[in-house]
Each structure stands twice: as structure tokens, then as C-alpha cells.
Amino acid sequence: MSEELKTLILPETMTPDIERTLGLMCFECAKYAHAFKKGGEDIAPRAENEQAAVIFKVLKNVLSGMTFEDAFCKMHYEAVEAQSHGNTRVGEKA
């Protein structure tokens, strides 16, 4: 097992930051997933897939030692960046 993978293993107990991450609702995640899709990520157009993609991004950061707030902010800025570099309409670059 790689060292990177070892650092992403879940701890024995749920922390408040992990709980907040896993508790993100579909409607909270949709706009971020849409931004990542505009940036070229392949996320299926189902609410559950969009939610999972966003939670996974935040959870990786939380498991690396960030607080939920910092992890969510990082994901937010990544989504803004992805959207700004993505397509505004089919076939047209921003």
C-alpha cells in the first residue's frame, strides 16, 4: 500500500469535520459539481453522483488534516477555477 493511500484511511472514530463532510446535502453539492463539469470533469448527471464527487473532494482534504471549513473553501476555489476555465456553451471556451 502506498504512503499516500495510508494517509487517506479513515480513522477509528468519526470527527466533527468528517461528520460535516459526509453530511453535505445534494442541493449543497450540485452547483459545485456543475462547475467541475464545466471544467471538464466527468461527473454523471445524477444528484447522487454530483454529491459523491463533491464530498470525495472535501473528504480527501479533511483526511489530510484540514478542518472542514478549510477543506470546503479549497474545494470552492477549485470549483470557481474549473468553471472559469470551462465551457460557457457547448463548443465555446470561456
Handedness of CA 84, 85, 87, 92 (dihedral sign): positive
Q: Residues, the chain, total? A: 94
| 52 neighbors 82 (Cβ within 8 angstroms) | no
pTM of the model as a whole: 0.82
In the prediction, which pLDDT does 91 show?
A: 45
CA dihedral angle for residue 76, residue 79, residue 80, residue 86, rounded to 10 degrees: 180
**pLDDT tens-digit profile of 36-92?**
999 999 999 999 999 999 999 999 999 999 999 999 999 999 999 999 987 654 444
- pLDDT exceeds cutoff 60 at 94: no
